[in-house]
Amino acid sequence: MSEPAACGPQPAELGARLREGDRSAAPPALNAIEDRSPRGRERAAALLEEVSPAKLGGEAGAHVVGLTGPPGAGKSSLLSALVKEWRSRGSTVAVLAVDPSSKRSGGSLLGDRARIEHDPRDDGVLIRSTAAGTRLGGLAAPTREAVEALAPAYDIVVVETVGVGQSETDVEEVADTVAVIVQPGSGDTLQFLKAGIMEVPDVLVVTKADLGDIALRARRDLSAALRALGSRETPVVSVSSVPPPSGVDELADALEAHRERTDIAARRLRARRLAALADFTIEHGEQALRALGGRRAAERLLGEQDSGLDTRALARVLEEAAQVRSSS
């Protein structure tokens, strides 16, 4: 990928504009983040520093929602209805849709985002595709950074992940609230129980409620499974995206209720530290981790850092510590 044009907005300027709520800075900021060249990564780091909790004076105000589930469960149709519901409530919405990657180009196969309906003239809605690449867990490499960039400028940031079944748990580390989508009559309930994914959702959503009894049975099965796991606080919501949609307002309420009872600052801080450790290990390998004294020692080091640091800054702390210990 070529470097961004020198005459365009500087990354720090884009970050500052996003910090002030300027949504027009979002598309060029995402372009900067998606440039994974060495120079591009430097520019993105400057941008992300401007939207870090330290610069914001705390966590960004957006509610970050993860929407995940198997292929064909109706995520995109549901998201179209949810975006409309949120906009009717006056909330601005950014959607980061993680799509399957082309094996030839590495780019998104569904980059036109035709699957999610929205008014392209509405500047309160941003829909952006990103390719899943080779990363397991349903998240593309720059997705987390895109969330960090957009969260100061939008009321709601949604990460819709590619449906890859039981590997799809990384979204839990970037979202404040995770909604897992289940299609009735597909065997998803049994699959989730076998895969352990029932521990991931903050809200469970049964789609295609218009199917009647089969949807009701799926909701009962999921509710029983949650009770068996001792999870009584996780709501199970039935929705239908068939016009006129039903249950979408109840789902929006359930997502917001979860946010209100969650310690967002603690959840995000933990996520940044885990992500920094993962990025460091991927970039430098297990040998560098051993140079720090192992995973627990690295976690202790991260725990000593300022809570306002962004993920990249935390990863640099680990890099510098590993270099010092390797040279001593």
Domain boundaries, the chain: 1-57, 63-260, 263-328
DSSP 34: H
- Most confident range (mean pLDDT) of 69-83, 158-172, 189-203, 278-292 is 278-292
pTM: 0.87
Which H/E stretch holds residue 53? helix 53-56
Q: In degrees rounded to 5, what are phi and psi of residue 171?
A: -60, -25
Winning range, highest mean pLDDT, from 29-43, 175-189, 194-208: 29-43
Provide the 3-class DSSP secondary structure of residue 174: coil
Q: Per residue in 59-109, pLDDT tens?
A: 999 999 999 887 777 888 899 999 999 999 999 999 998 865 443 434 443
Would you say residue 323 has pLDDT above 80? yes
Helices (H), 246-310: 248-260, 264-291, 295-303
CATH 1.10.599.10 correct for 63-260: no
- Which of 18, 156, 149 is CA-nearest to residue 87? 156
SS3 content of the chain, % helix, strand, coil (to 5): 50, 15, 35
Give the three-state DSSP class for 108: strand
Region 263-279: mean pLDDT is: 92
If one counts every other C-beta atom within 10 angstroms of the C-beta of residue 163, the result is: 17
C-alpha span between 91 and 8 (Å, rounded): 29
What is residue 142's predicted lDDT score, i.e. its pLDDT?
82
Per-residue pLDDT, averaged over 25-52, amounts to 92
Tell me what the mean pLDDT of segment 125-136 comes to: 71
CATH 1.20.5 is right for the domain spanning 1-57: yes
What is d(CA 116, CA 129) in angstroms, rounded to the nearest whole number?
11
